[in-house]
Amino acid sequence: MALFPLPDSYRQSLVSVGQGHQLYVEESGNPEGVPVVVLHGGPGGGCSPFMRRFFDPRRFRIILFDQRGSGQSRPFASIQDNTTAHLVADLECLREAMGIEQWRVFGGSWGVTLALAYLATYPQRVAGMVLRGIFLCRQQDRDWLYTPGGAARLFPEQWAAFQEQAPPGEGDLLQRYHRGLQGEHARYHARNWCNWESVLALTSVLPPGEASDDELCMAMQETHYFLHDGFLSMSLLEACAGMTLPVEIVHGTRDFVCPADQALALHQVLPGSRLHWVEGGSHSSSDPLIARALVDAVKRLEKRIDD
């Protein structure tokens, strides 16, 4: 199934959610349609128009927003009053403000982490979910990304460069990058940080230099969240275990950002989930194999809910 044509956004707004934060929100598709909220990755990744293309704009009210400190939300790149509990509360604030009783939740990577945290807190508000590139944010999942025993073994030359370019000082790689992102060379360090993730996602690596705003947001949010264990008070697998809502899980067999054991572990604790492996698929939703699988997953979810 091909992606849907890019629908125009019919409403953009800044929604105040407390502690001085304003979230950038945009809506597209059918204003009277089935509401679906899209949770971007990162943390700090921000949303993009491409994310609208997984949904039939005649059927869905498509809601995209930038999480705190991400994208066009304000204040820019802020990590103040920015935890998973805040993000979950923001989601509920948006739902209430939009007059939505129940919605579909669509998320990828860190968006999966947030989707599960929201589900654990407000299960009655979620009609069903499509989840891509499962990231549970456990210690072992973060270690895979940022310690020598993980993905570093698959990409040793790029890992060596990532280490060599790290800010000087005490502490492990995560601590040093987090500290460097507060200093005068923040954008240089943000570019190196994001390039390592691009290596694992099999997407384009940019030349050394100063990061864009989007890269800076991503690097600052990721180091902030990962240094604090994702601000999760308990295991997401435990928090959501046994929930029977329909869930479509999509995971690529060449996803080097999020190893496949996370997808299987989630599937095993959600009785209403179906796990779909995408042979040759990588991590990014822009991977054509993953993108097509996501369009199909949305259709399957709708059929399950309608039946």
109 catalytic residue (yes or no): yes
List, in sequence order, every beta strand (DSSP E) within 30-171: 34-39, 60-65, 103-109, 126-134
- Catalytic option among 109, 273, 284, 285: 109
- Catalytic option among 255, 273, 284, 285: 255
- Between CA 89 and CA 161 the distance in angstroms is 38
Structural element, H or E, at residue 302: helix 288-306
- Catalytic option among 283, 284, 285, 287: 283
Can you give the C-alpha Rg of the chain in angstroms? 18
Sign of torsion over alpha carbons 74, 75, 77, 80: negative
Determine how many CB atoms are found less than 10 A away from the CB of residue 253.
12
207 class by beta-carbon count within 10 Å (0-12 exposed, 13-18 middle, 19+ buried):
exposed
284 catalytic residue (yes or no): no
Torsion on CA atoms 76, 204, 296, 243, rounded to nearest 10: -50
- Between CA 150 and CA 222 the distance in angstroms is 18
What single-letter amino acid sits at 228?
Answer: H
| Alpha helix positions (H), 98-185 | 110-121, 139-146, 156-164, 173-180
**DSSP state letter for 51:** G
Q: How far apart are the first and last CA of the chain?
A: 21
CB 106 within 8 A of CB 37: yes
224 catalytic residue (yes or no): no
Determine how many CB atoms are found less than 10 A away from the CB of residue 228.
12
List, in sequence order, every beta strand (DSSP E) within the chain: 9-18, 21-29, 34-39, 60-65, 103-109, 126-134, 247-252, 273-278
Q: Which residues carry out catalysis?
A: 109, 255, 283
